[in-house]
């Protein structure tokens, strides 16, 4: 059973930076493209960044140029470096496979406010 544990969220001022981490348990991590999702209150969960097994990346237009996804297979961890944060980036952030086949973790909350 794969377990996802997100961390690194917090309160940051507009323009600030955060680095999120997602630790993935289980032996199948290296076989899956992974993604970071976010869900703001009252909104649907959206996929904001993806990284393939070969480390090719893609981003939602809303975060392109500000967010960077990466993975470290030896540590079975996916990262999301966020810079230039805006109030509209505030949400609960989750990682999962691109196909979202794993049970969702608890997420990590990002608050952007002055």
High-pLDDT (> 90) share of the chain, %? 90
d(CA 29, CA 10): 26
pLDDT in the model for residue 89: 98
Q: Output b/e per residue, 31-49; b: 16+ Cβ within 10 A.
A: ebbbbbbbeeeeeebebbb
Q: Is residue 88 pLDDT above 90, yes or no?
A: yes
pLDDT in the model for residue 28: 82
pLDDT in the model for residue 1: 84
Q: Is residue 84 pLDDT above 90, yes or no?
A: yes
CA atoms within 13 A on the CB side of 98: 16
């Amino acid at each position: 059973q794969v377990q996802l544990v997100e961390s690194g969220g917090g309160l940051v001022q507009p323009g600030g930076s955060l680095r999120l981490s997602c630790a993935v348990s289980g032996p199948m991590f290296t076989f899956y493209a992974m993604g970071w999702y976010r869900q703001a209150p009252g909104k649907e969960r959206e996929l904001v960044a993806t990284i393939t097994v070969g480390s090719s990346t893609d981003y939602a237009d809303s975060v392109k140029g500000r967010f960077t996804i990466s993975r470290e297979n030896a540590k079975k961890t996916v990262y999301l470096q966020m810079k230039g944060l805006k109030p509209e980036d505030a949400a609960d952030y989750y990682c999962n496979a691109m196909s979202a086949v794993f049970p969702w973790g608890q997420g990590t909350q990002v608050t952007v406010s002055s």
